[in-house]
Structure 1
Amino acid sequence: MPSSLRVVINTRDQLGETPLWCPRTQMIWWLDIERPRLQSFDERSGRHEVHRFASSFAGSLALHRAGGFVVGLDNSLQRFDPETSRLAPIVDVEPADAGTRLNDGRCDRRGRLWIGTMDAAIEKPLGSFYRVDPSGAVHRLFGDIIVTNSVATSPDDRTLYMSDTRRFKIWAFDLDPDDGVLSNRRVFADYSQDKGRPDGACVDSDGCLWNAVFAGGRVIRYTPAGKVDRVIELPVTNPTCVCFGGADLGTLYITTATKMIAPEVLANEPLAGALLAIEAGAKGLPEPMFG
């Protein structure tokens, strides 16, 4: 275990996901998808808060420019105000009975949300990838996805990354920042040999992509050219997502999961489901907001 790795809080999340550093609250926020709930932790005071939702899944999280968050509840995007615990509908991305749910997504610097759906049973290619404009307009870009993940954009918003976790690949696309059109899809990272499962990702100020490898117990930093630059081995089987936070955006936060771990393995993995952090020797970028 890296000497600088620390446990922020051990909540034993079933499927901890989508950590975001909020500059307004100066706190780290993240989801436990299948419970489903939004959590926050204030490292200054040690205060942990939990907001529960009356949905089957809370699959995606983004900052809203007007305040609060955008939360993907089942197949609906909702604006959530943690001060009042009120939800306000933004748009239904797919029908409630589609057999899918919203999963990973991130905003670009034009305020658009790039987000995908997945087969709720994690078996069939029922998912699609979308661009949701600040107006709420939904644009379906392509389908044939089992589990959307690794959504991130380069610092200049000219490259977009996403993966299909169950196809063991991360793709890169050229992104036109003005009209939001994707082109030139190519393989950025291929995990098919070792069956590593690319999960949540973020981009640092150097344009490098950090990717959590579910079932692989590590986080990998890739250069913009797709070269492995650094590997952080973790004391958990299932890291799920990463983000940079802290006052100087120099802390890499890592969510993890207890899901899909055999009981005999989980018994010897006390940090599974914890929120972890490491001083990664890199700086993040301010999290773009929706709207």
Structure 2
Amino acid sequence: MKDRFVHRDRIRSLDPDVDHLVIYQTMLRYEFPWDMKLGLNLAFNRSFSIPEIAAVHTSTGELTERTQKRIDDTGLLMYEIVLNGFEQTRGRDALRRMNQIHRSHTISNDHYLYVLACLVVVPTRWLERYGWRQPCCHERRATWKFYLELGRRMGITDIPDSYEAVEAWFDDYDQAHLSPNDDAAAIERSTRTLMLNRLPAALAPLGNALVSAMYDPPLRAATGLATPPWPVRAGLHLALRARAHAQRWLGRPPATPLFADGIKTKTYPNGYDINQLGPKPPGI
């Protein structure tokens, strides 16, 4: 048990304004690997659901017709940046490729900012509810600082100046713009299949209800989903809280960090070239 908080204690000894990358890497690879990966998936699901953003994605067919590849490409680019930062070659290549892909679309600054805010807020709120411990103030600030740096390198402006300010902006924008739309519903149906495939076979009969129970009411409304039966919602909540308590009192830090053997995906079982990820923008 004495080792359970070794990474938290190290994080608290760091400066989140200077060491934000190290702190964020530690959260993803050591402290909350399963929760962070799921939280990032939920963040992208939410960002795809704003009507204007959803319309861009359905027009390309990337999420509805080539779902597995699109999700794998997005995850690979994000994780390469997190694992390598902004200065190492692989991190620079991933960021450059991300910017190339986005340049082929007309995307407003607010839409970019909303996606960024989803990545900051949604995983953090998942940790607050279901993590084996609460994220500390250093982790919240480091998360904001990491995505502030990512946003600046993507040309995003007017990024709020703290985690709390991003969270407030996210809530206001979400309330004003997240509304029912057919494009979001189509994307959710496509991406849901990937989440269902991750469930144990014994839970397959409850799969659709369990996935819906992971979404909050505004996201379910935007994607046209009915509220799951309360026993499913309550059961999922209790199971996740029980998991958190077991991890806190019985768990130990992982001996091997997440992605120690590289990032594995179904689309690229034999590896991948960062510069070839995603659709080719016109003219490339």
Shorter-chain TM-score: what band? under 0.3
Scaled by the length of structure 1, what TM-score is found? Answer: 0.26
Larger radius of gyration: 2
Identify the structure with bigger relative contact order (alpha carbons < 8 Å, sequence gap 6+): 2
Scaled by the length of structure 2, what TM-score is found? Answer: 0.27
